[in-house]
Structure 1
Amino acid sequence: MLMTYELDFSTQYGQFYLVDKGSKNHTEVKDFWSDQAFSDRLGETGSMLGILIENDLTTVKGRLEILDGPPSELEPEAEHIVETSLVLDSGILELQDCPSSRILVEVPLEKGTYRIRISSYHISEPYATKSDEVNDRYLLQVWKEHQASEKRVLRQFDRF
């Protein structure tokens, strides 16, 4: 593992973003939050990813890991795992809140195409025993890839 960032921040509308710095991104583009994107828990454009969280308390807890290659196995405790590609023309990955796009983490990386895997934990029970604590957690793993590849759901969370 090259770098790790602990995540603990507030966001709104049940989502946050991974973005190529300086790119012109809009979640209003057609199909960004399509029914399929909601099911996948991931909206996307070429330079922006929207990641859904489960709790209604607008709190994101988890970790962002920059890796030197793909993880060797899936996270066994994760209830939902999805991955896709993100092109970083700027060489800087930003983690932003919603809706203000406030930059929470800025990661300098080599320009190019990256694979992003999002593992979601405890989304079936997003609240701890105390009502003011969230239980859902998110692991974002990032590694360089040679060319962009399609979004893949590796483990599907089914609420019903």
Structure 2
Amino acid sequence: MSKLDFYTSHHQFYIVDKDYFNLNDKDFWNERAFLERMPISDGIIGILTASYGSIKGSFQIFNSPQALDDTSNFDHIVDGCLTVRSGKIQILDCPDSDVIDQFSVHNGLYFVRLYSTNLNIQDEDVGGDFHRIELWPTDNPFNRKVIKQFNPQR
């Protein structure tokens, strides 16, 4: 498991296939992607954060599917797919696309599960949300699927 602790802005960061992602997809951050907190395009997955700055989390790649954790422990859970062609997955900040971490993997399709907690933070500049990301190989492509939808407290 890799711990995530870095600075990003614009309430987002990315999980990408090192050589095969495109940040110029005009429909990437569409209304549904914002609601479901995970835009997806070829070679890239975005993660919508509550923080505008300090991000904390974890990133782990497994060899086999993982059981879904108790959903009551999380504010938001969403699944997505990432195709890897370069043998490298990177985590990038926003807006500079600096490489936060890089992982060597086999080429293929990866199931990506995002667990997010503490999304009702009081100060987005201080942060406090946490994002646990799990990946494993899959043979079955699928569209983004929300397991638990975050509903902000107003």
Mapped partners of 1:153, 1:41: distance in 2: 9
Out of 8, 20, 25, the residue aligned to residue 5 of structure 2 is 8
Normalization by structure 2: what TM-score?
Answer: 0.92
Q: What is the 5 A alignment of 1:10-159?
A: 10-26=7-23, 28-56=24-52, 58-76=53-71, 77-125=73-121, 133-159=126-152
Contiguous gaps of at least 5 residues in structure 1: none
Normalization by structure 1: what TM-score?
Answer: 0.88
Q: Contact (CA 8 Å) 1:80, 1:119: kept in 2 or not?
A: yes
Number of corresponding residues: 152
Identity among equivalent pairs (%): 30
User: Matched residue of 1:42: which SS?
Assistant: coil
Mapped partners of 1:69, 1:111: distance in 2: 15
Deviation (angstroms), 1:68: 1.8
User: Matched residue of 1:140: which SS?
Assistant: strand
Q: Contact (CA 8 Å) 1:19, 1:93: kept in 2 or not?
A: yes
User: Matched residue of 1:157: which SS?
Assistant: coil
Mapped partners of 2:51, 2:79: distance in 1: 21
Deviation (angstroms), 1:151: 0.6
Mapped partners of 1:132, 1:21: distance in 2: 29
Amino acid at match of 1:136: D
Query: 1:31-80 CA distances to partner (integer Å, 9 max, x unpaired)?
Result: 21111000001111020011111023x11101001112222123431110
Contiguous gaps of at least 5 residues in structure 2: none
